[in-house]
A and B are shown apart, each in its own frame.
Chain A
Amino acid sequence: MAGSLLVSTRKGLFVMTPDGRIERAAFLGEPVNLTGIDPRDGAWYAALDLGHFGTKLHRSDDRGESWAELAVPAYPEGATISAGDGKATQPATLRGIWSLAYGGADQPGRVWAGTVPGGLFRSDDRGESWQLVEGLWDEPSRANWFGGGTDAPSIHSIVVDPRDSKRVFVAVSCGGVWETVDDGATWTVRCSGMSAAYMPPERRDDPTIQDPHHLVSCPAAPDVMWVQHHNGIFVSTDAARSWREVKAEPSSFGFGVVVHPRDPMRAWFVPAIKDERRIPVDGALVVTHTRDGGESFEIQREGLPQTHAYDLVYRHALAIDESGDRLAFGSTTGNVWVTADGGARWQAVSHHLPPVYAVTYA
């Protein structure tokens, strides 16, 4: 069974064929906020947010037939949550796993986990145990970070350089884009060119309060990176050393971004009107696609509802497969669409799933 589509929702994980037929469900009734696939060993990881009972992590080594609960990241005694927007300082406790990434072939067992409230953790035993990455946690500017989408800061994007496993990028809402080249020991903020219109004027260019909603890089050309930011779309061609804003119509506001696996100039977005009105422009759901690094965008509408659509697509709910032809996205209204031709034609495969938190190809 190759090419499954994993749809993480508020009430379970649904395993679909690429064309959208549900083959299996797991964790029915429970909130699954993220599912990840380790490309090295094929393991599936599912992050659950059980509300009353906290964040949980499960792994399947048989493509979802069975699952085993793992340890979850734990904040050390005395750790506190930063509060750059004036929220009271609180003890840091795990509130959610918002990103998962995997080391290179030279780091077997390495899994990275980005969490709310802002800690990055690493495991070297396939999630059986976790260590806080203190180099980032102890970064003084973390005191500037604040929540975006969650009450406290979230590390929602982790990009491991496929050429060098010790070089890792993370993106934080709201705390900017950060790079390590020494496997997490030291970190440098990489937001040159980004600007945050939501901040007071004297803070808008502060790199440590930027709100990148999602960060991705092109697997075949990792120096090209894309960010869907709270205030627009940014692209870098120099591995995040500098960022350039590009404009899409009908809107540059959104959460998710995917890049073609081999053509770094091609990226897709699902826009909403703007930050304080998170619904599609004119009630017409569209995908925007650039083939030229953001110089121009085409608007994909074929197969998507064009009247009274109020779907919002979260940052992890837009996915592209290894071929670059198949994409999928799911919405807060429980709809899922897929395409087999890069978005020229989209097809709805479900209209009545629970709210979709994340989709990914396995």
Chain B
Amino acid sequence: MPALTFARPIARWLPDQDGELTVERPAKTLRALLEAAFADHPTLRGYVLDERGVVRHHVAVFVDGVSITDKSDLDQTLAPEASVFVMQALSGG
């Protein structure tokens, strides 16, 4: 089933989480998989999405190794064994 992994720099904002966090759910779309993950870990919603439900500017979402290109469109269909990776865009210093 589809799996969603939050990279360590995002997952570390969960208490007691050490390293990246992977959630597996039988979701059909990217939005459904994210919502399922946020249901388990509501803290993470605000780290990944802004108040309008758009992926934050400095957060990147890859589906099977390919970055999504429209951060406001999360309705893309996932393959049965899709691998979704949510990471921070590299920034700062």
**Is A146 an interface position by the 8 A CB rule?**
yes
B91 touches A149 (CB 8 A): yes
- Are B90's CB and A173's CB within 8 A? yes
- Distance to closest chain A CB from B74 (angstroms): 12
Digitize B66-93: 1 where CB-to-A-CB distance is under 8 Å, 0 elsewhere. 0111110000000000010101111111
- Please name the residue on chain B nearest to A230 by beta carbon: B90
**In the complex the two chains form, is B67's CB within 8 Å of A86's CB?**
yes
Q: Check B93–A200 contact: CB distance below 8 A.
A: no
Contact A278/B92 with A85-B67, A87-B57, A198-B7 known, Cβ cut-off 8 Å: yes
A86 and B60 in contact (CB under 8 A), knowing A200-B83, A202-B65, A276-B8? Answer: yes
Q: A255 to chain B: which residues have CB within 8 Å?
A: 93
Chain A contact residues: helix, strand, loop or mixed: loop
Q: With A86-B55, A198-B7, A200-B62 as known contacts, state yes or no: A149 contacts B89, CB within 8 Å.
A: no
Q: A86-B69, A203-B65, A276-B12 are in contact. Are A198 and B87 (CB under 8 A)?
A: yes
Instruction: Count residues on chain B whose CB falls below 8 Å from chain A CBs.
Output: 26
For the complex, is A150 an interface residue (Cβ under 8 Å from B)? yes
Contact B90 A148 (CB under 8 A): yes
Interface residues on A, range: 20 to 34
| Interface pair B87/A199, CB less than 8 Å apart | yes
Contact string against B for A residues 125-158, beta-carbon threshold 8 Å, 1 for contact and 0 otherwise: 0000000000000000000001111110000000
Q: Is A239 an interface residue (CB 8 A)?
A: no
Interfacial chain A residues near B65, Cβ < 8 Å: 200, 202-203
Q: Give chain B residues whose Cβ lies under 8 Å from the Cβ of A240.
A: none
Residue contact B68 to A198, C-beta cutoff 8 Å:
no
Pull 13 A–B residue pairs with CB atoms less than 8 Å apart, ordered by A: A88-B70, A146-B89, A149-B92, A151-B57, A198-B7, A198-B87, A198-B88, A200-B5, A202-B65, A203-B62, A275-B9, A276-B9, A312-B93
